[in-house]
Amino acid sequence: MPNLNDIKNAKKRLEGIISNTPFAYAPILSEISGYNVYLKKENLQRTGSFKIRGAFNKIAILVEEGKTNGVVAASAGNHAQGVAYAAKHFGISGTIVMPESTPLTKVVGVKELGSEVILHGSNYDEAYEFAISYAKENNKDFVHPFADKEVIAGQGTIMIEMLQEQPDLDATVIPVGGGGLISGCAIAARAIRPQMQIIGIAAEGAPAMKQSFDAKKPIDTTSVRTIADGIAVRDTSPVTLEYILKNVNRMDLVCEDEIANAILFLLERQKLMVEGAGAVGVAALMHGHLNLPKGSKIGIILSGGNIDVTMLSLIIEKGLMKSYRKMKLIVTLIDKPGALKRFSELIEKCNANIVQIGYDRTSTDLKFGDAHVSVALETKGKEHQEHIRSVLKENGFPYIEQH
């Protein structure tokens, strides 16, 4: 198991390489929760994630030991960029094995950092198995994303930074996938501030580590499905589970809607772009999972900000619907001149804005002489939407609401 000295040495190796990211008070979240909340903004880290810490520390040690034949990693995201960055820094070859379904932007991002990309397998586990065999066949060193002593020590440098700025933290909330981040941070926390509560948060769609924590033995899942792709780990690592069982107080799960709400909140209210994995701690806070004494001083790690823009647009759209700022209707009109004008005038009187509209007169479920208007409206809350519904009913416009 890495110790505090290993983590301090990792911190020295990382000086001048990584950013000492802000650990800032969050007044809105503090007011909402009743805690004193501080956010560790690793989404602002170089390469957009904490992963560079562990990857760089591992590769730096390999270079110190004279192992310069090259490194191999399996990753579809943040670990890939961390390894590629470190390989480029030390002037050694990097090879990243990524699943065939990896978005082009992530492939390009790794190539721009100078590493070779091999697309193999339909998921991470298949890419991982290929990467292990590729490293052995080519006499290269494999850099594991979490089940590695030096990687874990690198991740633990986050906790040293947090406690240097806020030495009296009562609790810390940390995302959990493979367990490398929480293992390193928990080792540092137990050495520096042993009384601090350490809480791990995983996604309901990737519950392997939480189930293993509860059972106190490794439990693998058959599949994972979550928007928090950075913690979408199917199988439990016995290495990190051992550290977690020794040092972590408790673990909890957050659902997909809670994660999406946290992403949107951080974007809109905190002006922070945070990926799903990075938002799970705030999701747990916002939805009452922490159960700490009021007034507790807590640090939440925002582990990364590399969110896919397509996913972000979907989260924003759904968030607007759930917060009553957008509504979608299919309204039935009599298909005659002036009907659409009358409908739009009613919407205008309701002080709603039409942002999208479609007209259909050919659907088989329509009566002859009727038409469907599909419309998306910008609205101003729940009461405003209720007013729009009542006005449509009063004026004889049947509608179906889409959710």
Tens of pLDDT, residue by residue, the chain (403 residues):
899 999 999 999 999 999 999 999 999 999 999 999 999 999 999 999 999 999 999 999 999 999 999 999 998 789 999 999 999 999 999 999 998 877 787 888 899 999 999 999 887 778 899 999 999 999 999 999 999 999 999 999 999 999 999 999 999 999 999 999 999 999 999 999 999 999 999 999 999 999 999 999 999 998 888 999 889 888 899 999 999 999 999 999 999 999 999 999 999 999 999 999 999 999 999 999 999 999 999 999 999 999 888 889 999 998 899 889 999 999 999 989 999 999 999 999 999 999 999 999 888 788 888 999 999 999 999 999 999 999 999 999 999 998 8
Residue 169 and residue 184 share a domain: yes
Angle at 305 between CA 127 and CA 132, to 5 degrees: 15
Q: What is the DSSP letter of 49?
A: B
Q: Supply φ then ψ for residue 30, to 5 degrees.
A: -65, -45
Domain that holds residue 197: 4-49+148-318
Residue 76 and residue 125 share a domain: yes
Residue at a domain's end among 318, 353, 374: 318
Structure tokens at 233: 């780990």
Q: What is the DSSP letter of 35?
A: S
Q: Are 127 and 99 in contact (CB under 8 A)?
A: yes
Residue 136 and residue 78 share a domain: yes
Q: Are 373 and 359 in contact (CB under 8 A)?
A: yes
Identity at 286, one-letter amino acid code: M
User: What CA–CA distance (Å, rounded) separates 342 from 198?
Assistant: 59
Q: Supply φ then ψ for residue 128, to 5 degrees.
A: -60, -45
Residue at a domain's end among 110, 127, 142: 142
- Radius of gyration, alpha carbons of the chain: 25
Q: What is the pLDDT of residue 367?
A: 87
Residue 179 and residue 127 share a domain: no
Q: What is the pLDDT of residue 403?
A: 82
Q: What is the pLDDT of residue 185?
A: 98
CATH of the domain at 211: 3.40.50.1100
Residue 363 and residue 277 share a domain: no
Burial class (CB in 10 A: 0-12, 13-18, 19+), 55: buried
User: What CA–CA distance (Å, rounded) separates 204 from 280?
Assistant: 11
Residue at a domain's end among 142, 170, 205: 142
Closest CA to 93 of 74, 107, 72: 72
Residue 129 and residue 70 share a domain: yes
Identity at 310, one-letter amino acid code: T
Strand, coil or helix: what is 286? helix
Q: What is the pLDDT of residue 125?
A: 78
- Hey, CA dihedral for 397, 398, 402, 403, is it positive or negative? positive
Residue 114 and residue 69 share a domain: yes
Paired with 302 in beta bridges are 41
Within a 13 Å sphere around the CA of 334, how many CA atoms are in the beta-carbon half? Answer: 7
CA 98 to chain centre: 19
User: What CA–CA distance (Å, rounded) separates 195 from 187?
Assistant: 13
Total domain count for the chain? 3
Residue 34 and residue 179 share a domain: yes
Residue 163 and residue 130 share a domain: no
Q: What is the pLDDT of residue 104?
A: 80
Beta pairing, strands 353-360 & 326-334: unpaired
Residue 125 and residue 59 share a domain: yes
Residue 312 and residue 244 share a domain: yes
User: What CA–CA distance (Å, rounded) separates 100 from 136?
Assistant: 22
Provide the edge-to-edge strand list for the sheet that holds 141-142: 116-119, 94-98, 71-74, 141-142
Place of tokens 């052995």: 136
Residue 129 and residue 196 share a domain: no
Alpha helices in 19-123 (DSSP H): 27-33, 51-64, 78-90, 104-112
Q: Are 185 and 158 in contact (CB under 8 A)?
A: yes
CATH of the domain at 368: 3.30.70.260
Q: Is the pTM of this model over 0.85?
A: yes
